[in-house]
Structure 1
Amino acid sequence: MAVKKITFFTIAFFCVVLVQAQSLVVGTFNLRYDNPRDTGNLWVNRAPIVASLIQFHDFDVLGTQEGLRNQLDDIKNALPDYTYYGIGRDDGQAKGEHSAIFYKSAKFNVLKSGDFWLSATPEKPGPGWDAHLNRICSWVQLQDKKSKRKFYFFNVHYDHQGVQARRESSLLILKKIKEIAGNDPAVFTGDLNGGHDSEWYQSLSNSGWLKDTYKQVAHPYANNGSFNSFGTALQRTEIIDHIFITAPFTAQKWGILSDHYHGKYPSDHYPVLAVIKL
């Protein structure tokens, strides 16, 4: 009887440890919008490659940028284990590019969701400061169905031209994540259109609160920059796609996935993957 009790409690102990040490595969991926002028790299050809890449690398949650509604639906239809949240940046519904978040629907429940624009009036569509285009941040609060643990996931795409807009966007991001997530664990992903030397990146990295997963791991897999321009910028080393976390998350792995097929690339950005532990 005593042996049975010891065995039971031993199994129970290890089950608790496994739950406590839960790891998640998260990422960020600028999909490149469905541009009919991308001769040789059209979305109709890239779509199945993108879906296969997401499936193979087994992301639990993935922040995407630039996806139009038809692209997001193509991915969802190809990957029935995933669903997504996000609205169009142009009208707050389906029009324009999205900062959509894909997640495994069998693994997570969505408890809350929302969006805000990167501008002085974040509650409504419109460009901010000197931005060239509307820019939006989408977010969800997810709960793991087994462990019942909750965390927030924010995803964004900064403007590619407005320098002031990128500076102000980081200040707004810090403010909004604190307002929405409070002290709960949070992940923040996005194409910031700026590397580690940019002022807007450093505002986040030096916040004392958001931590760059790249800097948390001992051996980041960074053999390339994260922007490849469909193969014409392979010599670039700048990382402009980022994954940040708050405590109690810690990062175990980080890498740029330089997948390609027959000399072509799934997007003009490489996806970035991190394994994080809650």
Structure 2
Amino acid sequence: MSTRTSGLRVMTFNVRHATDLSPNSWEERLPLIRELLQREIPDLIGTQECYYSQIKDMLSILPDYEYIGLGRNGGSRGEYSAIFYRRDRFDVLEYDHYWLSDTPGMIGSTTWNHEAPRMVTWGRFRELGSGLQFYMCNTHMDHLSEEARIKGAALLAERAGEFDKALPVLITGDFNVGPDSEPSRILHQGGFTDTWNSAAERGGEDLGSFNDFKDPLGKGPTWRIDWVITRGGIQVDSIRIVNDHQGGRFPSDHFPVVAEMRLSYKT
């Protein structure tokens, strides 16, 4: 028996909902997002804040991708925490959703002083050709309630603990809090590692990931609120914050974070 590896480029990207006026309207930002994504060509993208109309627009600029997701208010209603994936590389074996609340199976539930429902979308993926399997979760934590972030991180770790322990797990998300935080500690206790710390190389160490449509530095490193974290047989080669901006225009009020990693499997 030998060990083989398979490379993955994983992105987390809060694309911002489609409610802003010019110059930050969705229609004006979509070409910038298309340029960014077609240059980066991620294998998997955990997105936050997409409405269904934006999901369709994303598919129009990503013709080689499919997605899994559900509106946080059920059906196509509300923001998605959708996962886009290259259909020439992966098959989805199973997927589901749950809500970050005391009643995670109840669509749209809020019990931790949320302003709005928060949820997790997850999938079990199989790489075509190699047969390698792994899990990916994607989420968007509450921006106001510390209780919701702490309890949400605990539920995320608990549910990930129910996955097949032989398989790697990666989580993408906008956690709305920096790395030196209680949610980060909880996920670390759950066996997860922040790829920013485990990566052999880092790009943009002076940056944060929230730019508010105006800050080329993303408010600095304490504002690295968008994370890629992993558990299991995953080696991270590099991670970087992609701080695209053109003439004062930004693709989103968040910068995407891109991690290059390798998943190990036995043959």
How much does 1:50 deviate?
1.0
1:70 to 40, 53, 71: 53
Aligned length: 259
Render the CA deviation track for 1:25-69: whole Å, top value 9, x for unaligned.
Answer: 00100010011x433100011112212211210100010000101
**Greater C-alpha Rg:** 1
- Hey, what does 1:219 align to over in structure 2? 201
Distance 1:183 1:131, change over 3 A: farther
More helix by share: 1
Query: Is residue 2:164 matched to residue 1:164?
Result: no
- The 2-side partners of 1:225 and 1:80 are apart by 30
C-alpha contact 2:200 2:236 (8 A) present in aligned 1: no
| 3-state SS in 2 of match to 1:228 | coil
- The 1-side partners of 2:209 and 2:79 are apart by 20
- Give every structure 1 segment of 4 or more consecutive aligned residues whose post-TM-superposition deviation is greater than 4 Å: none
| 3-state SS in 1 of match to 2:171 | strand
Query: Is residue 2:121 matched to residue 1:138?
Result: yes
Higher relative contact order (CA 8 A, sep 6+): 2
1:258 to 226, 230, 243: 243
- Hey, what does 1:13 align to over in structure 2? none
Query: Is residue 2:61 matched to residue 1:43?
Result: no
How large is the RMSD of aligned CA atoms in angstroms?
1.6
- Hey, what does 2:102 align to over in structure 1? 120
User: Which amino acid is 1:138 matched to?
Assistant: T
- The 1-side partners of 2:164 and 2:43 are apart by 20
Q: Which runs of 5+ in 1 are unaligned?
A: 1-15
- Hey, what does 1:31 align to over in structure 2? 15
- The 2-side partners of 1:156 and 1:131 are apart by 14
- The 2-side partners of 1:33 and 1:250 are apart by 33
| 3-state SS in 1 of match to 2:114 | coil
2:81 to 94, 99, 103: 99
User: Which amino acid is 1:180 matched to?
Assistant: F
| 3-state SS in 1 of match to 2:67 | strand
Identify which range, 213-222 or 170-179, moves more after superposition: 213-222
Render the CA deviation track for 1:95-119: whole Å, top value 9, x for unaligned.
Answer: 0000000000111111001000000
Identify which range, 227-236 or 246-255, moves more after superposition: 227-236
C-alpha contact 1:227 1:233 (8 A) present in aligned 2: no
- The 2-side partners of 1:133 and 1:181 are apart by 31
C-alpha contact 1:192 1:201 (8 A) present in aligned 2: no
- The 2-side partners of 1:52 and 1:205 are apart by 34
User: Which amino acid is 2:230 matched to?
Assistant: I
- Hey, what does 2:188 align to over in structure 1? 205
Render the CA deviation track for 1:3-37: whole Å, top value 9, x for unaligned.
Answer: xxxxxxxxxxxxx87xx1211000100010011x4
| 3-state SS in 2 of match to 1:74 | helix
Render the CA deviation track for 1:129-188: whole Å, top value 9, x for unaligned.
Answer: 111110010011111111110111100000011111111001000011111343311110
- The 2-side partners of 1:109 and 1:137 are apart by 19
- The 2-side partners of 1:45 and 1:181 are apart by 42
**TM-score under structure 2 normalisation?**
0.93
Identical aligned pairs, as a percentage? 34
Render the CA deviation track for 1:206-237: whole Å, top value 9, x for unaligned.
Answer: 43x11111001233112310000001474432
- The 1-side partners of 2:154 and 2:57 are apart by 34
- The 1-side partners of 2:242 and 2:24 are apart by 18
- The 2-side partners of 1:128 and 1:27 are apart by 30
- The 2-side partners of 1:40 and 1:265 are apart by 9
- The 2-side partners of 1:85 and 1:203 are apart by 26
More strand by share: 2
